[in-house]
Structure 1
Amino acid sequence: MNKINIDDILDFATEKSARKAIFKEDRVDTGLLLYAPGQTTPDHKHSDIDEVFYVISGEGTITINSEEMLLKEKDIIFSPNGETHGFKNTSSNNWVVLQIKIDISKKD
């Protein structure tokens, strides 16, 4: 069992958003999405991954299938495979999002 303190891996890049890996085991991959003000991840989709996003701190918008939604601290959202999604930090503070990926192409 591994323990990680999130404060120890917060490292915001100035030029673009960053993903910091936390744990990866078989079908599950967790990481932090780190967005400085104004940073984005373009709309994209995965055919073989379900994702859960939980906002640890800050706020920003997620676009899901062309619908924009505000996500703030303690909000959680599920994005199933095949759904288009993208992110934008629309605030003046850093935005930290826990990402949990579940690879549905792998069988138990």
Structure 2
Amino acid sequence: MKKIARNQYEQFNDEHFTKKILFKQGKTVVFTLSFRPGQQLPAHRHPGSHLYLTVLEGGGTLTIDGIDTDVAKGDAVHCEGEEEFSFRNTGAESAILYVVLNHIPDERYAQDF
């Protein structure tokens, strides 16, 4: 068993969103994405994967295959790896997303940012 304190991984940067790896085992990676208001994650795909996301704090707009969906604290989302995915913090407070990527396409997806 490995236990961590989530708040140790909730780091913000005034210039861009941050990504902090919580766990990595085999091809599965678990991480947080932290956004200040106005920050965004560019559109991208996760080929061959499934992405599971829970909004821990704040909210914003998810865009999946060009369709915008507002999300808020407590919402959970599943995306297929071939779907184009992006997020923008459109709120007035910081947002934190908890993400599980079940089959990382390559090691770039399992690095802090």
Would you identify which runs of 4 or more consecutive aligned residues in structure 1 move more than 6 Å? none
Unaligned runs of 5+ in 2: 106-113
CA distance in structure 2 between the aligned counterparts of 1:25 and 1:104, rounded to whole angstroms = 10
Give how far 1:10 is off: 1.5
Task: Give the SS at the match of 1:82.
Answer: coil
1:8 maps to which residue? 8
1:59 maps to which residue? 59
Give how far 1:104 is off: 7.1
Deviations 1:59-100 (A, max 9, x none): 111000000001101100001110001000001101000010
Aligned residues of 2:29 and 2:104 also touching (Cα < 8 A): no
**Which segment drifts farther, 30-39 or 46-55?**
46-55
**Structure 1 residue 68 corresponds to structure 2 residue 68:** yes
CA distance in structure 2 between the aligned counterparts of 1:98 and 1:81, rounded to whole angstroms = 17
The TM-score with structure 1 as length reference comes to 0.92
CA distance in structure 2 between the aligned counterparts of 1:99 and 1:37, rounded to whole angstroms = 19
CA distance in structure 2 between the aligned counterparts of 1:68 and 1:83, rounded to whole angstroms = 13
1:85 maps to which residue? 85
C-alpha RMSD of matched pairs (Å): 1.2
Give how far 1:5 is off: 1.2
The TM-score with structure 2 as length reference comes to 0.88
CA distance in structure 1 between the aligned counterparts of 2:7 and 2:47, rounded to whole angstroms = 32
